Amino acid sequence: MNFSLCAPSSDLRYPYNEVVRSTDFSLMMSKPSLRIENVIKRDISQVSSNPEAGKAVMSSNLMPKQLEGSFMAKKQFDDHVHKTECVRTLLIDNYDSYTYNIYQELSVINGLPPVVVRNDELTWEDVYHYLYEENAFDNIVISPGPGSPTCPADIGICLQLLHKCWDIPILGVCLGHQALGYVHGANVVHASEPIHGRLSEIEHNGCSLFHDIPSGPNSGFKVVRYHSLIIDDGSLPNDLIPIAWTSSTDALSFLGTHELDVTPDTSADFYPNSVKGKKVLMGIMHSTRPHYGVQFHPESVATCHGRQIFKNFREITENYWRRLKPKFTKQRGFPYAACMQMPNANGLLREVSEGRQLAINLDSRRYNEAFRSGQSVHNVDKNSCFGMFKMVDLSHPNIGVKHLKLKWRKFDCLAGKVGGARNIFLEFFGRNSAESTFWLDSSSTEKGRARFSFMGGKGGSLWKHMTFKLSDESDTASKAGGYLTSEDAQGSTVETFLEEGFLDFLKKELLLIRYDEKDYEGLPFDFYGGYIGYMGYNLKVECGMVSNRHKSRTPDACFFFADNLIAIDHCNGDVYAMCLHEGSTTPSWLEEMEQKLVKVEASVKRGREEQTLWALRKSTSKEGFVCDKSREDYVTDIEKCLDYIKDGESYELCLTTQLRKRIGDIDSLGLYLHLREINPAPYAAWLNFSRENLSICCSSPERFLRLDRNGILEAKPIKGTIARGATQEEDERCRQQLQYSEKDQAENLMIVDLLRNDLGRVCEPGSVHVSRLMDVESYATVHTMVSTIRGKKWEDITAVDCVRAAFPGGSMTGAPKLRSMELLDSLESSSRGIYSGSIGFFSYNQTFDLNIVIRTIVIHEGEASIGAGGAIVALSNPEDEYEEMILKTRAPAKAVMEFL
């Protein structure tokens, strides 16, 4: 292929401009009056030049110092909106897990959030109406996605858009790029190697899409690639012009190769399909239409100059409309388009297509005033703008409302004086086999990983124990809710069918609580009482997944409503006793707890603990755990995952299985105490739902998602695990081997981009950023690779909305999330149950902190189960993946075997 077809100086940079100048568009339009009379009604002023724009080394989402304090570069966003009018984008989502990274970028660059529409939620008639009659959009962006443009189910309406919307600027990313080639006759074929989460240096021809972006080897223009398919450059028709390609035949890792101690294995066995041969086509444009495509992902956190590409597309859009109609001066008066996000948008759009007026749940007058004055969209009322979240009906706000008061006492430096959190828990909650108790246990606090622990048991008048089980119908596409059993403090039990599911119930319950923020002023943590428990993996059917193939043996969610609890600050040893109640009098529990805490001695209950452990260790049952799948079957499943990845069905699949052992009646609290001793973790937990004969002993090192009282969301995904070394020197080599592993970097980067997407659905434009990327953290038995993603939540989004947007954690599914979960359901032979779900709290004031349930022993009806797995990527070796899965079970399995 001759890549010099379009030199930087060529007029082909804007080949359609001459057509615009010389052609009577009324002769070319299918409905000329619509486009000429209605669309060309506004002048989009030139984007103000930003001298710093071309200096970014990588995506601005990885610039925590620039974002610190103002979060989100809010000032830059506001200044941009004041200087220019807004460009309105229709963003087609191909069921990808990176679409909302594009959404975030376009929100900042365009000055207005795009409208997100999935590829099968609109008919061509709907699209035509909004593009050509309502003139609602200035351009279209087609997202990445799983599958192939040759499959109608994968690409939806995108091919029609590319074929019929020849007069509207369109940018296709990855799958959208392939669709642009395919719709004009190019062949889409398998790449010589699937490339996912790896980088390439890019050369380009200098066309407008790459304005102010360097080109070629060592230029600093590196991009992230997630694809298994490519456009065959030899099949490009004359209408399509190549504009970018890889500058070498080698894919790169993000951190490169360590210069001193670690040399990556580049053998054919480790990289069985290493990239060989010619360069790969990375970008195309149409010769006469304003249509562009890029094979790489400009929205990735590790792509250099990614934001500049989107800025350039905005400028292409503006220049296109100016050339089309010089008197493009009048503003088009369409209401706040971003409120049409799916799924609610579908019904709204259909109403318009049937001749009825669009009814958007926003004060259009207020929005239009803000639009005309250049007011930031941050300041516009956003109620009900987020179509991916169901609004809870609170039409009778006084029915069921609870006015809660918080009372608390602080005991300075007490924890160290009484032997720490373990002794406190045993003294106050360890009796009667610790029935109906909880302990969110930061048992590993070094390096600031965690600071606070929370513990409690059956408490005051507000205490409840809730168990939720999905109905049998929830295993099908009907998602028919489930049954909630609730026991109150007096022992009264009520069963209710929740048609809309558990998360809607929890959201409504939290919204019904009223409180005074002054009650918790002075407390250094974010949990003051409320719901504490777990959500099982199968609740994915309430978060976008169509169905569950396997039914969980354990309840799908169990929570206490905790009104009496103790918090421990491990930083300085302070202990807090807290009591949540209705009414004005101070509850007696708080007074009693105050008297007991000051009398506790460091030696409390030590003799009882030793006796309990000794008695239980008399057991003669030493048979090991049995895996649900044999080594051979698990390796075969890994190979199937690799086939799916090769075919473009997924970028990464987190394949799991379960190990099980019958243990009968044991002191499960004693087992947990032993586990926390040999494998301390920052997000550890003990939960005992005695009514369900269910205990959970968790030593998780991974945070799923946290929301603090300032509205900051944080995720800390783990991807990449290696065993500790036997000596200090060997241990350091293991740590560096993980740090510079190309495979583990690719795994981590894919999940970081996925979590950025999930946070991007509920966070303010420009706010999502990566404060730590691919740090290695060391624990008792393993090193892990951890990243941290943060963002500022939209003010009107609730805590449960945030969880729904991201559950289950992407590190346990893969990407794209929905397609990956479908594939995993087909491969895994049983439900994951609690494993891969989340344990944590929802405070009554809408803060929460949830972990990822890994490194966990679930004890249910006399059986202990341990879930484990690993991310399968294109670079995975099946045997190595099996060994990594076994490694992750080592600490909890050892705890059980030593304890019995």
DSSP characters over 148-165: -TTSHHHHTTHHHHHHH-
- Structure tokens of 88? 């309105």
User: Alpha helix (H) ranges present in 276-387?
Assistant: 306-324, 344-353, 364-373
Catalytic residue chosen out of the listed positions 299, 318, 828, 884: 299
Q: Which long-range contacts (CB under 8 A, 24 or more apart) does 264-268 make?
A: 264/740, 264/741, 264/742
Which sign does the torsion angle of CA 219, 221, 226, 227 carry? negative
Which whole-number Å values give the CA distances from 309 to 65, 206, 212, 754, in the listed order?
23, 12, 9, 20
- Taking the CA atoms of the chain, what radius of gyration do you get in angstroms? 28
Q: How far is CA 884 from CA 99, 832, 872, in A?
A: 31, 18, 11
Answer for the pair 778, 724: CB distance below 8 angstroms, yes or no. Answer: yes
Among residues 86, 158, 174, 698, the one annotated as catalytic is: 174
d(C-alpha 684, C-alpha 443), whole Å: 7
User: Hey, what are 322's tokens?
Assistant: 């100016």
Specify whether the CB–CB gap between 820 and 813 falls below 8 A.
yes
CA 134/CA 360 separation, integer angstroms: 15
Give the span between the Cα atoms of 444 and 786, in whole angstroms.
15
Q: DSSP labels for 368-380? A: HHHHHHT--GGGS
558 is catalytic: no
Rounded Cα gap, residues 480 and 595, in angstroms: 49
**Which 3 state secondary structure label does DSSP give 781?**
coil
The answer for residues whose C-beta is within 8 angstroms of residue 521's C-beta and 6 or more apart is: none
d(CA 839, CA 850): 5
Is residue 211 annotated as part of the catalytic site, yes or no?
A: no
Residue among 390, 633, 686, 382 nearest 511 (CA): 390
CA–CA distance, 456 with 566 (Å, rounded to integer): 6
Contact 758, 805 (CB under 8 A): yes
Distance CA 142, CA 177 (A): 8
**709 Cβ neighbours under 8 A, 6+ residues apart:** 526, 845, 847
Is 299 a residue of the active site? yes
Residue written as tokens 């959190």?
Answer: 421
Distances (CA, A) of 748 to 35, 39, 541: 46, 44, 25
Say whether 204 sits in a helix, a strand or coil. Answer: strand
Are the beta carbons of 450 and 444 closer than 8 angstroms? yes
Please pick, among 196, 297, 581, 769, the residue that the annotation labels catalytic: 297
Query: Three-state SS for 81?
Result: helix
Find tokens 């586990």 and name the residue: 675
Rounded to whole angstroms, what are the CA distances from 251 to 224, 226, 743, 819?
Answer: 10, 11, 12, 25
How far, in Å, CA of 460 to CA of 728, rounded? Answer: 50
CA distances from 420 to 425, 525, 683 (A): 9, 18, 17
Whose tokens are 């624990």? That residue is 779
CA distances 103 to 189, 558, 684, 835, Å, are 28, 35, 35, 31
SS3 content of the chain, % helix, strand, coil (to 5): 35, 25, 40
- In one-letter notation, the amino acid at residue 21 is R
3-state class (DSSP) for residue 566? strand
Distance CA 22, CA 666 (A): 85
Other beta carbons less than 10 A from residue 772's beta carbon: 15
Enumerate the active-site residues: 174, 297, 299
